[in-house]
Chains A and B, each alone.
Chain A
Amino acid sequence: MDKKISEEKQNNLMGKNASKLAVLEKQLDELFSRLEVVKNQKGKEKVLINIAKTRNKMKHMKYGGVFSKEAKRNLVAYSFIAPNFIGFTVFTLGPVLFAFVLAFLKWDGNNPMEFAGLDNFVKLTTDTRFLDAFVNTIIFSAATVPLTLLCALGLAITLNQKVKFRNLFRTASFFPYVASLVAVAAVWNMLFSPANGPVNMLLAKIGVAAQNLPKWAADKEFAMLTVILFSVWKSLGYYMVIYLAGLQGISRELYEAASLDGANGRQKFKSVTWPMLQPTTFFVVVILTINCFKVYDQIYMITQGGPGTSTLVLVYHIYETAFKTWDLGYASAISVVLFLLVLIVTLVQFKGEKKYVNM
């Protein structure tokens, strides 16, 4: 609405001044041609000043002031955005766009780039390390998402009861999420140390034979499980908080009504809590899945992708390809695959959001 009016105003102004503008435009053209003829420095400067003046005049005519109200408003707004936007464009938006270009190039970072067409993507289909990484990422996510979800929901429901020291409990269960990964991974490695870690000692004590004790991160069969358990423990508190917010949004009346109907705890959960939490669950699944696709740090600190390729994931493979073998184009091709995975989840999220808004 606002825009339309100001556009009309502009058109009016332009109509009135059209003839004057035409004259000025001619002058400007003349000045430009003179600029090419004049050779000495001083003369050139004079012409340039004249050009600037004429341009200013034209602006004046076009917008009815040195700056129209609208231009001023835009300028103020841009001045608010600029500090962040410049940084954002240079350091985020630029690299994002470049990533998609790089996937079609061959580059080692030193020699000139070469166009590679689809070579990088063709290579993906035969690269067994990539295929392993892809499968492992999916396995990791498929196990971590439901496990974290269940634990977070369980914990949230427990911590939503009226219990003493509730806030203390909440804080405690949230702490692993904010704790430094390096530090907690160091403890985890010691706790799950195959030879003398407390976890295995405990297992031995309850009767697991010494040769059956899992070697955890050092064992092909158990390495992924170790990373999954660690990830669940580390991020559980975050999703619990989201669930707590969801639980607090359920109206008490629903529970009271269920009680009147004689529902027990489990029935209440099935017919009130779970259905009412559906939007929250949906949201948690989306965020959780995206975060699982991006997993790297945990893997690096606990198994370093090994043993063999048993815990190699996509981001780990990207890191190695880029910063160890310097095959930057190929690394970007893997990144594009990662992006597509995330994109699928994001699109599902958009669809779901529409559904839950309409609910």
Chain B
Amino acid sequence: MKNKKKLKSSRLFLYAVLIFLMVLMLIPFIWMLSASLKLDKDVFIFPIEWIPGKPRWKNYIDIWTKIPLAAFIRNTSKLTVIVTVLQLLTSSFAAYAFAKLNFRHRNTLFLAYVATIAVPWQVYMVPQFMMMRSFGLNDTHTAIICLQAFSAFGVFMMRQFYRNIPDELCEAARIDGMSEYKIYAGIMLPLSKPALSSLLIFTFVSTWNDFLGPMIYLKSEEKKTLQIGLRMFISQYSSEYGLIMAASVISLIPVLIIFILLQKYFVEGIASTGIKG
């Protein structure tokens, strides 16, 4: 009897802790949402009015004309889709060879990949920029694509996954006379859906949210991405709180959707590779 009571109170305590933690984690988002529906002068009223009495939906309409938000979103979407597709295709392709084929210089080549994973991008962003500039790629979307699409991380991650697929599967297919390309497309790709999904979310989220890359490369306003466009808006109109928050909410929506749809793979991906930070 006493034990049961004790158990119950400890459960209660657990839930209390959990709810407290969740509130801490989510309060900025709730506040963001609430502020995005307020007049600028009402944003900082204390005590906080969590649900605005008269929600100001107009913020969500005005923001589209105040800054070229649609163009920013278009740019970011374009970059994100191209980078993600290129990344998935080229790295799963290369990873297949590194995991399942025997060829000259395999280990040397793979070492080049592994060694650069250990070098943070921030270390070589300057020479990379100078090189892109000499190619005439300064202020182009191509630069951002080239920068993001061929990461060593993708190859590394896919290779780890392919290595766990038994070699016998490929051997059997080879004996059946299947070409390597067919084995890749017909056997490996379908099997690697979980790894591909993890890589997809990693790439999607990091390209969508990338800040420093676009900030270094993209100078003209019509080419800017959502992140730097948003940042520009925030520093220009720092007191338009309601609009800033509305724009922020909008910028979070695509990631939220992708995240909720594929979160299972996201968690698995981190748990199994845990590399991308």
Contact = CB atoms under 8 A, between A and B. Distances in A.
A342 interface: yes
Interface of B, secondary structure class, is helix
Contacts of A175: 25-26, 29, 256, 259
A144 interface: no
B93 interface: yes
Contacts, number: 267
Contacts of B197: none
Contacts of A300: 211
B122 interface: yes
Given A93-B116, A332-B127, A183 B248 contact: yes
B28 A88 contact: no
Interface stretch (A13-21, A46-54, A95-103, A250-258): A95-103
Contacts of A306: none
Contact of A179 (B15, B181, B231, B252): B252
A121 interface: no
Interface string A291-302: 101101100110
Contact of B103 (A78, A178, A188): A78
B32 interface: yes
Contacts of A238: 270, 277
Interface of A, secondary structure class, is helix
B267 A92 contact: no
A180 B21 contact: no
Contacts of A198: 31, 44, 46, 48
B275 interface: yes
Interface residues of A, number: 91
B212 A296 contact: yes
A291 B102 CA distance: 35
Interface of A: 2, 73-74, 76-78, 80-81, 83-85, 87-96, 98-99, 102, 109, 155, 158-159, 161, 163, 169-176, 178-184, 186-188, 190-191, 193, 196-198, 201, 205, 233, 235-238, 241-242, 244-245, 283, 287-288, 290-291, 293-294, 296-297, 300-301, 315, 318-319, 322-323, 328, 331-332, 335-336, 338-339, 342-343, 346
10 contacts: A77-B97, A84-B94, A88-B113, A158-B21, A178-B259, A241-B267, A245-B271, A332-B127, A338-B120, A342-B119
